[in-house]
Structure 1
């Protein structure tokens, strides 16, 4: 496996509830001092209390920061990430964090359209704060189910050019973006939110110039699918057999069995968990492996056995 980024040990210096399902965490380095800086749209990868690696957008100012601020939504089908953050990440606890990265960078533009859905507001709000501070024009649309579900509601309402829309869970009450996106100007669009919102914006901006519409999506693949079946993984070095349930990844099954692994994104996009495949037919679900690597390598954070069992060089 590849060597992960050098991690930063941080303590939870503050925690507050934003909605019944969203909590904000303020992380401070245990060694003190200034942290690596970052720009709006950046994220950190956090090792959650249960050992899962999860990416969270940074909310605070990234110029010479002394802390990192993130917000985490408890996902209803959490496999150890968001649930452990909500249940076990208490004030005073320590977390291991990888330095900031930014795959959702703001480019220089005369105007911006910022679109957020649900917890996708985290990078979008960071951008809005930055643009307002810089005096750059932007419009913002923030879509949620209800006011109770809406994190940072009062702050977003404070932006003169922001619109907050609650659909109340009704499909026919979805926000109509066409008036905003029908006639492309010189704006750049930034969008983060659930898949239906992202798909809608992608469809409505098909006539926009390439490179002017930007999306942020941490969960690049479905790690677990409804038709997945259990299988076994044999570890070549020890001969140990590990059962991989239908609702767990290989990486998670190894972690559950007390076997240390190296990982980062856990969404099939970074390559950190790449393992050599000794035997078996893999079901590749990552976005990293080259075609010539797929016969003898596998990304254990997302990929599975297509049929039968697998043997890994571990």
Structure 2
């Protein structure tokens, strides 16, 4: 019986601009073998040249078994993963890739869909739209909201004859007063008709959709976050972590995660997504107060646990059960 490999070494067949600040990567097996199957909404984890693992949504047709296609936004004020990938990976390179996972899957019982994408949040929606077009039995409406045409990936394809009848593209030009009005789409709950909402994009967009779908059944509204609060805050300060088992203390500078600070010192902590979404790096917190920035911990866990991939400290020192 064959098994799906946990990590694969794939070749970058294409690395090219998809829009301003966005790079498109096409990954294939070096020997031309089939890749593990995926479903619309799935993501893969990629090891960047800097050593960090980052997850990116697959945007190509799930029926394809010869390639994975992702689009990566170059985040200048992020934690360096996207910079490392966009600036450091060219066509022909080999990258370590995890098998596809899906936490944002289309509901099999849904009869129609409203897909709402903001910015780079279009990536999983492209796979969904391709799948639904090929399926041909369930209706969908895709709203793609961006700042301007130059920063919009997949724009030419979405304006083509296959997608155009299903797609609305809106550019706000950076003016909040020019935001697209989603209320007419969401005013009437579509649950009785089997309609589901899927939203992926920046936090303000997802918060707005949450507010406008408060009268929808929770089971009919789905969100895909880019991860926890991974960007540095203006008031971030360096702090220390002390490892209970060894007694050693390490400094965590501004802009560096606890996980990366420990990794640089040769201390291994299990990790996977490195974006505060998977729970792999959950660590017992013995002393100190954490500044939680993940999407995993329950309220009752926050006093004595921390996700070391994204969270920081509110006190000068955290003591970890490591």
TM value normalised by structure 2: 0.87
Q: Which residue of 1 aligns with 2:236?
A: 228
Q: Corresponding residue for 1:182?
A: 187
Go from structure 1 to structure 2 and tell me whether the alpha carbon gap of 1:93 and 1:163 turns closer, same or farther (over 3 Å shift).
same
Q: Is 2:247 aligned against 1:255?
A: no
Residues 284 and 109 (structure 1 numbering): CA distance in 2 closer, same or farther, change over 3 Å? closer
With over 3 angstroms needed to count, the CA separation of the structure-2 counterparts of 1:179 and 1:270, relative to structure 1, is: same
The equivalent of 1:116 in structure 2 is 117
Unmatched segments (≥5 aa) in structure 2: none
Is 1:169 the counterpart of 2:177? The answer is no
Match of 2:155 in 1: 153
1:278 to partner: Cα distance: 5.4
What residue number does 1:219 align with?
Answer: 227
Could you list the per-position Cα deviations for residues 265-296 of structure 1 after superposition, in whole angstroms to 9, with x for gaps in the alignment? 22222221233445544444444456776566
For residues 40 and 163 of structure 1, what CA distance do their matches in structure 2 show? 20
Measure how far apart 1:264 and its partner are.
1.1
**Count of residues paired in the alignment:** 310
- Aligned-partner SS, 1:100: coil
| 1:294-313 matched pairs, under 5 angstroms | 297-313=305-321
Once residues 284 and 30 of structure 2 are traced to their aligned partners in structure 1, the CA distance between those partners, rounded to angstroms, is 36
Which residue does the alignment assign to 2:208? 200
Q: 1:309 to 1:172 in 2, by over 3 A?
A: same
- Residue by residue over 1:227-272, the C-alpha shift from the partner in whole angstroms, topping out at 9 and shown as x without a partner, is 3321122345655432101322101222344544431122222221
Write the distance in 1 (CA, Å) between the matches of 2:300 and 2:207.
31
> What SS does the corresponding residue of 1:175 show, helix, strand or coil?
coil
Q: CA RMSD in A?
A: 2.4
Equivalent position of 1:270 in the other structure: 278
Determine the C-alpha separation between the residues in 1 that align with 2:302 and 2:198.
33
Deviation at 1:201, TM superposition (A): 1.4
- Any stretches of 5+ residues in structure 1 without a counterpart? none
Q: Secondary structure at the match of 2:316?
A: strand
2:186/2:213 contact within 8 Å kept: yes
Q: TM-score, normalised by structure 1?
A: 0.89
Deviation at 1:202, TM superposition (A): 1.4
Matches of 2:40 and 2:129, distance apart in 1: 9
